[in-house]
Amino acid sequence: MYIGKMMKKPFIKMHGLGNDFVVIDSTKNQYVINKESVQKISDRRLGIGCDQLIEMKHSEKEDIFMKIYNADGSEAEACGNAARCVAGLLFASSPKKEVSIETIAGVIQAESEENGLIKVDMGKPKFFWKDIPLSMEKEKIDFKNLSLKNGLAINMGNPHVVFFVNDINKINISKIGPLIENNSLFPEKVNVEICQILNKNKIRALVWERGAGKTLACGSGACASLVAAHENKLSNPKAEIVLDGGSLYITWNLKSNNHVIMSGPIAVSFLGD
């Protein structure tokens, strides 16, 4: 495996509900990470395998800077599950119970909970079409050829579009996902969530991640799902989002700062070079 030119580098393989990451610490030594090396590392047959590669770098103002690469080598603005994994590493190496993580989309605050879960503040959702971004102004998004209508586009640090269906078992996210991700309506591509309301406090969601494909979980996608459900009067502002890899617990603090809070577990899979 190449990072730069034949340079060995320790890594930690981590995941949040199966949404998996190769985490590299570049706080002391800078390593050349490029599109080709990310693609090789992310390959599940020829490399280590991951949804995203995460590089931890020095931050001038916060506890850490988190750089996020999708499996295809493109850079992502935000990743809630990755933020929880990075926070877990910081908590394991210090007595701190709260840390701040800088990303290109802004600062994410993380907190270690008594039950062992890690909570992150994903900030305020954005709905203005230019903030998503969309290529044109639209309030609701329809893909009638895919039997999907009334989708809501949301920016949770990265772009999402959320649809609700009556029977999620009839959805082939691997077929639908790439068609929506690469649609011209989304100039920077888009993450796709297909959801089914189980009750006011529980939502089932399938995820197609921009630049990574079908994943077992997506933190920002779970946040977008809850926000879209509440905006459509389908759920309470606090709910369990059931993903293929397990559950995340999302709260939209509408009565205070309008921020979306996500809580869930993380795990270390293995270490290597």
**Start-to-end Cα distance in the chain:** 9
168 alpha-carbon distance from chain centroid: 21
Yes or no: say if 65 and 104 are a contact pair by the CB < 8 Å rule: no
pLDDT, residue 31, reads 78
Q: Is-contact 17 265, C-beta < 8 A?
A: yes
pTM: 0.92
Distance CA 234, CA 224 (A): 13
Tell me how crowded residue 217 is: count the other CB atoms within 10 A of its CB.
Answer: 27
pLDDT the model gives residue 32: 78
At residue 234, the 3 state secondary structure works out as coil
Here the tokens at position 266 are 């993380």
Q: Are 174 and 214 in contact (CB under 8 A)?
A: yes
Maximum C-alpha span of the chain: 54
Residues 6 or more apart whose CB falls under 8 angstroms from that of 239 comprise: 200, 201, 202, 203, 226, 229, 249, 250
What pLDDT is stored for residue 254 in this prediction? Answer: 96
In tens digits, what is the pLDDT along the chain, a chain of 273 residues?
444 455 688 999 999 999 999 999 999 887 778 999 999 999 999 999 999 999 999 999 999 999 999 999 999 998 999 999 999 999 999 999 999 999 999 999 999 998 989 999 999 999 999 999 999 999 999 999 999 999 999 999 999 999 999 999 999 999 999 999 999 999 999 999 999 999 999 999 999 999 999 999 999 999 999 999 999 999 999 999 999 999 999 999 999 999 999 999 999 999 999
- Which residues neighbour 101 within 8 Å (Cβ) at sequence distance 6 or greater? 62, 63, 64, 65, 66, 83, 86, 87, 107, 108, 109, 110
What single DSSP character describes residue 171?
A: -
Angle, in degrees to the nearest 10, between helices 80-92 and 219-231: 130
- What is the set of active-site residues? 79, 218
